[in-house]
Amino acid sequence: MAPSQTRWKRLRRSRRIEGRETIVATIWFCFVAAILAGYVVLDGFDLGVGILHLWIARDDAERRIVLRSIGPVWDGNEVWILAAGGTLYFAFPALYATAFSGFYLPLMMVLWLLILRGISVEFRSHVTGTIWPAFWDAGFSFASLLLAVFYGAALGNVVRGVPLDANGRFFEPLWTDFLPRGQTGILDWYTVLVGIAALAALTLHGSTWLAYKTDGGLHQRALRVASALWWAVASLTFVITFASFRVLPQLLQNFRFRPWGFLFPLLAIAGLSGIKWFVHCEGGRQGIRSFVSLPAWHAYECGLQPLSQRSARQHESALQPHNFKCEGGRLRP
């Protein structure tokens, strides 16, 4: 056989393997994204309940009702973040290593908050009295609130991208000059904005859950909070959408290349209107329906961004999940 022919065959085979690897990587990518989305939706509502906990419940009895509404499920919901971390670790070790060491400080703070939140829920009921539960109630709310903001800021960081060094690594300080360019920090005006939007969205999420799970005064208050927060979430959604286009002009291009990406903003709008509709029409089990429609908004929040990143990747071959290279000195996992 002529050597050129062999080489050609080998090349074709290697192309095929490469193609297969890309497909496998894409499947894993979707899997990790789905687990993360699952985490946001599931742990999202108990985070929201945690944020509201201190303010919405008037006395110890109501606080117990609030805690009981998430008591059996919050632990299971948190397993999703472990699953996401674990899956990311073995599916994309290089991405895991770069991102986790680069976002060192905020991740460690998230860990501390998760510890505080976990022991607050678990240990509150061990001692009865006044001081003990009051302390853990505050700890639970404080940790939940900060976690929501941190998760939002993390999303903002992923969307904005981070500057990479020559070896493709990075380390983000907590803040620099609060501007989303140059040597960026975890917190700048854009990521803080996304953090606040996440806080509002998760609180809304939690309030619909509470409206669904409780009745009486607690139910009424949760509904009132939900309808007030709806406006905050809706306006923040518009603000961050425009801010994202400003921070990341190529986002618009992605939509042009991948028109099906418009599905995600449409889902978000549908979800938002769904909440509005169900919160407003009193009667029946409106709670559960509004609760069901909120995840659509989350789908926008966490689904739109990575997927449009992915289409960007496929066109510019800037970043592959299994071996990411960088272009223009910015990393966008």
Residues within the interface to other proteins (CB under 8 A)? 64, 67-68, 71-72, 75-76, 79, 82-83, 85-87, 89-94, 96-102, 104-105, 107-108, 111-112, 114-115, 118-119, 121-128, 165, 169-171, 323
The answer to whether 86 and 28 are in contact (CB under 8 A) is: no
- Nearest approach in angstroms of CB 330 to other proteins is 16
Q: Closer to other proteins by CB, 133 or 271: give it.
A: 133
- Nearest approach in angstroms of CB 86 to other proteins is 3
- Nearest approach in angstroms of CB 11 to other proteins is 16
The answer to whether 320 and 331 are in contact (CB under 8 A) is: no
Q: Closer to other proteins by CB, 72 or 283: give it.
A: 72
Concatenated DSSP letters of 145-199: HHHHHHHHHHHHHHHH-EE--TTS-----S-SSS-SSSS--S--HHHHHHHHHHH
Q: Closer to other proteins by CB, 101 or 235: give it.
A: 101
Q: Closer to other proteins by CB, 127 or 228: give it.
A: 127
Instruction: Give, in order, the Cα–Cα distances in Å from 213 to each of 7, 35, 209, 222.
Output: 66, 25, 6, 10
| Nearest-angstrom CA–CA distance, 260 and 308 | 10
- Nearest approach in angstroms of CB 87 to other proteins is 6
Token pair belonging to 52: 């509201």
Q: Closer to other proteins by CB, 111 or 138: give it.
A: 111
- Nearest approach in angstroms of CB 182 to other proteins is 17
Q: Closer to other proteins by CB, 31 or 257: give it.
A: 31
Residue 178, phi then psi, degrees to nearest 5: 60, 25
Q: Closer to other proteins by CB, 124 or 160: give it.
A: 124
Token pair belonging to 220: 């009424």
- Extract the runs of DSSP E, i.e. beta strands, from the chain: 162-163, 330-331
- Nearest approach in angstroms of CB 125 to other proteins is 4
| Nearest-angstrom CA–CA distance, 98 and 6 | 38
Q: In this structure, what is the dihedral angle of CA atoms 258, 263, 264, 270, given to the nearest 10 degrees? A: 160
- Nearest approach in angstroms of CB 43 to other proteins is 13
| Nearest-angstrom CA–CA distance, 328 and 168 | 11
